[in-house]
Amino acid sequence: MTLENWTLVEVADAIRARRVASREVVETCLARIDAWQPRINAFAAVLADSARTAADRADAAVAAGVPLGSLHGVPLAHKDMFFRASRRSSLGSHNAPPTSGAGESSLLGRLDAAGAIEIGTLNMCEFALGPTGHNAWLGDCRNPWHTEHIACGSSSGGGAAIAARLAYGGFGSDTGGSVRLPASACGVFGLKPTNGRVTRAGMMPLSPSVDVPGIFARSARDVARLLGIVAGRDACDPRSSGLPVPDYEASVERGVAGLRIGVPQNFFLEGVAGDVALRLEESLQALAALGAEIVPVTVPEPEHLTELSRVLVYSEAAAIHGAWLREHAEDYSPQVRMRAATGLAIPAAAYLQAQQLRSGILRRFVDAVFSTCDVLHLPTLGIPVPTLAETDVGGSAAMWDKIAVLVRCTAPFNYLGLPALSVPCGFTDNGLPTSFQLVGRPFAEATLLAMAHAYDGVTRSSRRTPSFPA
């Protein structure tokens, strides 16, 4: 394979072994960005000069024989909402209001310490409030497989950039599916970790009790390496977990023999398109052939989870944006203005109830589901990826229906805080990628990654890349 098609782990290990120079890797990415960016608009900013300087420093360190981090010299790109003191983040807006929690991103600091190079910041839906990839200020992000289709959102640039091989991995945020949906639409891996597994310090808040940083990568092993670097307690984020961080990368080799895969018999498969359903069934057959047991599961209370999540997200978004909305409404596009203002009409009692119910619902869900199976298997996106035109509904009445269809299978797990991984599993009849989603008990990311790695090892679904758009 050519260099741009190597995985993150392959290129990181090659740099450390002096089989390739970091500067060559960075130049490969920058050349692809130059070619693809005008067509898919995946980046908010390209940091070419600083990336080249960092690559030269990385190569000098290799030559000097100094200790190297596990991402030494590898170009990454992240959603433009992780803060650095040296620059202003756009947050997907043309005039971002002040946000609480601003400060240097602990996550970026951990990646820096591992030797990663930031090659750019990625396009996103305005203030992370949008599942499609439309952006009135930065321009729409487009799907690299077919540019008339959406890349999904809100971390739209992450899915598009990693699929088009413009960077080797990156981070977004997932509040209702905002990493998993773009990963599915663009044919890459997308992980939403357990709530608290990864620090949120220095990340733009949308809904602090639901927001989770998430990972885009080309393979399950790549996700495992990135997760192992950023996971763990952070004194700057009091909600981060102090549980030990396992060796995720080693665990991907453990296989799936004997694991029970639960297939929901209610809610999540309702309304799934035929070509998506076919890919889901094929993926189950592949996992069964690897030794997994497929079992039916009834999921408790699924119809309430998305609505409860919405109460939290819109209430907290209104608390962050309320004052700016009242004084500078024109700074918001119609859809984002409508959605951010929704929380102003939610009673405090409803918000408090949604919070108070959360732990009990999670306990009942875990007891009912994971006493029967080890992992849930369901769609990430239950329909083929739609076009930009089909989803360009602004703040109209059609907005709510469009959003509901897109986040139907993802938002429930944000409310529950469970880990969920989107795994590429082929293509629908319109020629765009689709995926299945694996969901586990709290802090079971290692199990999800092992299953995804085993599946991809026999199907190679993630190795296909989009052709350069005409």
The predicted pLDDT at position 151 comes to: 98
SS3 track for the chain: CCHHHCCHHHHHHHHHCCCCCHHHHHHHHHHHHHHHHHHHCCEEEECHHHHHHHHHHHHHHHHHCCCCCCCCCCEEEEECCECCCCCCCCCCCCCCCCCCCCCCCHHHHHHHHCCCEEEEEECCCHHHCCCCCCCCCCCCCECCCCCCEECCCCCHHHHHHHHCCCCCEEEEEECCCCCHHHHHHHCCEEEECCCCCECCCCECCCCCCCCEEEEEECCHHHHHHHHHHHECCECCECCCCCCCCCCHHHHHHHCCCCCEEEEECCCCCCCCCHHHHHHHHHHHHHHHHCCCEEEEECCCCHHHHHHHHHHHHHHHHHHHHHHHHHHCHHHCCHHHHHHHHHHHHCCHHHHHHHHHHHHHHHHHHHHHHHCCCCEEEEECCCCCCCECCCCCCCCCCHHHHHHHHHHCCCHHHHHHCCCEEEEEEEECCCCCEEEEEEECCCCCHHHHHHHHHHHHHHHCHHHCCCCCCC
Compute mean pLDDT per 10 residues along the chain, 470 residues long, and list them.
Answer: 94 98 98 98 98 98 97 98 92 74 86 98 96 95 98 98 98 98 98 98 96 98 98 97 97 96 97 98 98 97 94 96 89 91 95 98 97 98 98 90 96 98 97 98 98 95 83
Which residues in 115-146 are b (16+ Cβ under 10 Å) and which e?
bbbbbbbbbbbbbbbbbbbbbbbbebbbbbbe
Stated length of the chain? 470
The per-residue pLDDT for 461 is 80
Question: pTM score > 0.95 for this model?
Answer: yes
pLDDT, residue 97, reads 62
Active-site annotation, residues = 79, 154, 178
Closest CA to 43 of 186, 161, 172, 129: 161
Alpha-carbon torsion angle 365, 368, 373, 379, nearest 10: -40
* Whole-number pLDDT of residue 378: 98
